[in-house]
A and B are shown apart, each in its own frame.
Chain A
Amino acid sequence: MKHTLQQVFHSGKFVVGFIIFMGLLLTTIIYPLIVRNDPLEIIGQGTFFPPGIYVSVYDSIGSTRYILNLDEAAANRIASKLTDTDRLAMKDWLVADGIPDYEIDTTDTVKLMDQWVSNYSPTASIPGMTIAKTRYYQRLNTSLEGILSKEGVTIATRNAESGALEETGTVLQSDYVNVGQVANVRLLPLGTENFGRDVLTELVKALSVSLQIGLVSGSVATLIGLTLGLLAGYVGGMMDDIIMFLTNLFTVIPTFVLLILISFSIGQEHRGPNTIAVVIGFTSWVWTTRAVRSQVLSLRNRDHVNLSKLSGHSIVHIILNDILPYIASYVVMAFVLQIASGILAEAQLSILGLGPRTTDVPTLGLMMNWALIYQAQVLGMWWAYIPVIVTIALITFSMNLMNTGLDHVFNPALRD
């Protein structure tokens, strides 16, 4: 046993898969200890806030202010306000005014603004320009002057009795607050999704639920497969015929169809994550049964098994002591693959709208389903679905790596 484990951990593929898997597992354990928010709490009013640090505007006004004189501050401010269309329009005007094309760089905000301020005059008439266009440039110029102004912004509160505004302070352009001193700052590393929930917190919870689904479905499938395979292979006869008939039948009837039918019939209200997991397990035992049976068939007439029979051991004893140890490695490998395929099956069902009911817990499939229903992939809201896909891929990838690693250890013929 110890030797086998040592061998397994010498396999590079297994170790890489194991590390990825343990990383995912540890995340689901450690993250909730640090971030104690409810994963399904709706915090954002609106859909799909991009990832970033969210600082309370109200609180930052009240925080201690520091004056920093930074050279590039004004340029950055203008750059963030100037849209690409505005830049192109400015370039058009400047070209029409007689500045050579190559001297204008729309990406260089400082130079562009300099050229604009020194050349633009609202009264200048460019031949061939419509009045609407001229007005547009006048408006653009006014807003640019607004951005360029060096004055601060006045903060006022409304007097409760008279309704008049009373000035309580001003914010200068050079005022800064320290994020650490602002009372309310929320880090949303993956933004929010369509309901306004924190994607990262939800994703971690979904990962743990999905892993649980995989574990339950994998255990159910492996248990059924192992039992049926042992019965068919060791007991044989009539039992073998019946089990093989069932196995052949369910190999050909697509499991996906069975899953759809059963989940739809259960109804939305009764579909919890565990119900779904058990249903998946009940539809995916076929391969384990086949493989276990064929291995048992080749084992049952070995000398040590016959010796056990002659010594008068019971069937249970023989199976546990003389057969199981020989197929254990295969069963473990099958179990690892069943976990991965269970997680995938849940995701596919959820995309069809047949996943666990949506009110209790998130799962990876449900998150994908919501993102797709809200067209996140077309709107370019990558943070709502890419992390989910990557997580699913990481799980299946790590499971398959572990499986291949085990395969190389137990089947020397495959080693290159």
Chain B
Amino acid sequence: MKGYRKYFLNKGLWFIVTFIIAFILNFVLPRLMPGDPVAAIVARMAQGSSNATGVQAIYKQYTELFHTSDPIVTQFVIYVRNALKGDFGYSISQYPRTVTDVIKASIMWTICLQFPAIIVGWLIGNTLGALAAYLKKGFDKVLMPVSIFVSNFPAFGMAVIFVVIFGVGLKWFPTSGGYGYDLMPAFTWRFIWSVITHYQLPFWSIVMIAIGGQAIGMRSMSIYELNADYVKYARFMGIKDSKIIRYVFRNAMLPQVTGLALAVGTMVGGALVAEIIFSYPGLGTTILTGVMGQDYPLISGVTLIITLMVLVATLIIEILYGFIDPRIKAAQSD
């Protein structure tokens, strides 16, 4: 454990630096755009209104809200101070709720949906890929084209197909929402059951997408390892096949873990869009309402939270990777 200090420190430092830069980007990007963002917001809000003093008042209010008349450094300081307190201002489209309230209501849905789905998809995908590499022949011939096709399918396409087949066609599961529209969130059996049935379609559609990509990667990694010299040597030594396979897959797994750390961002992006198809009450749907309502503070808050989530997930995977990759352990004992 002691030997890992340098590795963890390095990863932790990276996490902090990346987060700070992502945070700055979140602040700077919208302000880099040509034109006055406040004027644009006011113009959208005041559409059809001919009352000049009213428009002026709205403009003044938003200038104060975003502090756009202050110098950019002051703006940044205020932004940081508010963000540290968890205050992202009021949501425009869902006034008088604050952005923090809106995010609080949706973030758990996204976390509980996406991370289990990605992990389950990753596990199943890797198992199938390894089996395809080992068994070859029939299994491989069937699995590979299917995986290639599935992994090329856009996440939202898979979501729509699932809705149509299992929701509209077979009527096994409800097509939209996170729970029955006639229920209020509460700890009753009926509510929990409703949440579980609504969970199935989004969950499995995300899992399916993850399986395809992972299976392909794991298969080629395993084929590569199975042809490695140490496998041949072990065979000559008369070591049992089942034991060799354990070595092979452990080695083939390692790049897959790093791959997962790098792919989490993309997967979350695709899954957020899939949420929209199911009208799942998570962050994806929140982004959509934010876009529809031209709700600047909400979009900014949600993107920051998503970035944080992805960064944390990446950090966790990298820490786990430190424990399972023998090379890192070896490097630390020097």
**Which residues of A approach B to under 8 Å, CB–CB?**
248-249, 251-258, 260-262, 264-267, 340, 344, 347-348, 351-354, 368, 372, 377-378, 380, 382, 385, 389, 392-393, 396-397, 400-401, 404, 413-414, 416
Q: Cα distance A352–B287 when bound, in Å?
A: 7
User: Shortest CB–CB separation between residue B194 and chain A, in angstroms?
Assistant: 18
Query: Are A253 and B273 also in contact (CB < 8 A) when A260-B287, A352-B291, A353-B292 are?
Result: no
In the bound complex, do residue A397 and residue B299 qualify as a contact, i.e. CB atoms below 8 Å apart? no
In the bound complex, do residue B157 and residue A382 qualify as a contact, i.e. CB atoms below 8 Å apart? no
Chain B residues, CB < 8 A from A252:
14, 18, 265, 310-311, 314
Which of B21, B175, B300 is within 8 Å of A249, CB to CB?
Answer: B21
Main secondary structure of the interface of A (DSSP, over half): helix
In the bound complex, do residue A262 and residue B168 qualify as a contact, i.e. CB atoms below 8 Å apart? no
Chain A residues, CB < 8 A from B61:
none
Query: Are A348 and B269 also in contact (CB < 8 A) when A253-B22, A353-B288 are?
Result: yes
Q: Which of B26-34, B52-60, B86-94, B245-253 contacts A (4 or more CB under 8 A)?
A: B26-34
Q: Which of B65-73, B145-153, B178-186 contacts A (4 or more CB under 8 A)?
A: B145-153
User: Shortest CB–CB separation between residue A269 and chain B, in angstroms?
Assistant: 9
Chain A residues, CB < 8 A from B220:
414
In the bound complex, do residue B163 and residue A260 qualify as a contact, i.e. CB atoms below 8 Å apart? no
Chain A residues, CB < 8 A from B268:
254, 256
Contacts of B19-65 to chain A: CB distance below 8 A? 21-22, 25-26, 29-30, 32-33, 35, 37, 40
Query: Are A393 and B265 also in contact (CB < 8 A) when A262-B29, A377-B160 are?
Result: no
User: Can you spell out 29 A-B residue pairs with CB atoms less than 8 angstroms apart?
Assistant: A249-B18, A251-B262, A252-B265, A253-B21, A253-B22, A253-B25, A254-B268, A254-B269, A256-B268, A257-B306, A257-B310, A260-B287, A264-B299, A265-B30, A351-B273, A353-B291, A354-B291, A368-B156, A372-B277, A377-B168, A378-B163, A389-B157, A389-B160, A389-B161, A393-B149, A393-B153, A393-B154, A400-B148, A416-B223
In the bound complex, do residue A254 and residue B266 qualify as a contact, i.e. CB atoms below 8 Å apart? yes
Chain B residues, CB < 8 A from A401:
148
In the bound complex, do residue B299 and residue A372 qualify as a contact, i.e. CB atoms below 8 Å apart? no
Q: Cα distance A263–B250 when bound, in Å?
A: 42
Contacts beyond the supplied A255-B269, A256-B272, A389-B153: 10 A-B pairs with Cβ under 8 Å: A254-B265, A257-B310, A261-B30, A265-B29, A265-B32, A340-B152, A377-B164, A380-B164, A400-B148, A401-B148
In the bound complex, do residue A254 and residue B310 qualify as a contact, i.e. CB atoms below 8 Å apart? yes
Which of A248, A261, A344 is within 8 Å of B29, CB to CB?
Answer: A261
User: Shortest CB–CB separation between residue A123 and chain B, in angstroms?
Assistant: 42
B207 at the interface (CB under 8 A from A): no
Q: Cα distance A382–B149 when bound, in Å?
A: 21
Contacts of B185-202 to chain A: CB distance below 8 A? none
Chain B residues, CB < 8 A from A385:
160
Q: Cα distance A102–B306 when bound, in Å?
A: 62
Closest to B302 in A: A260
Nearest 9 A/B pairs, CB to CB:
A256-B269, A254-B265, A389-B157, A353-B291, A396-B152, A265-B30, A265-B33, A397-B152, A257-B303
Q: Cα distance A397–B22 when bound, in Å?
A: 33
In the bound complex, do residue B40 and residue A267 qualify as a contact, i.e. CB atoms below 8 Å apart? yes
Chain A residues, CB < 8 A from B98:
none
Query: Are A348 and B273 also in contact (CB < 8 A) when A257-B303, A262-B29 are?
Result: yes
